[in-house]
Amino acid sequence: MAWLLVIVAGLLETGFAVCLKLSHGFTRLWPTISFAAFALSSFGLLTLALKRLDVGPAYAVWTGIGAAGTAIYGMIFLGDVVSTLKLVSISLVIVGVIGLQLSGSAH
What tens digit of pLDDT does each residue of 15-30 get?
A: 999 999 999 999 999 9
How confident is the model over 29-80, as pLDDT tens digits? 999 999 999 999 999 999 999 999 999 889 999 999 999 999 999 999 999 9
Burial 50-89 (b: 16+ CB within 10 A, else e): beebeeebbbbbbebbbbbbbbbbbbeeeeeeeeeeeeee
pTM for this one? Answer: 0.89
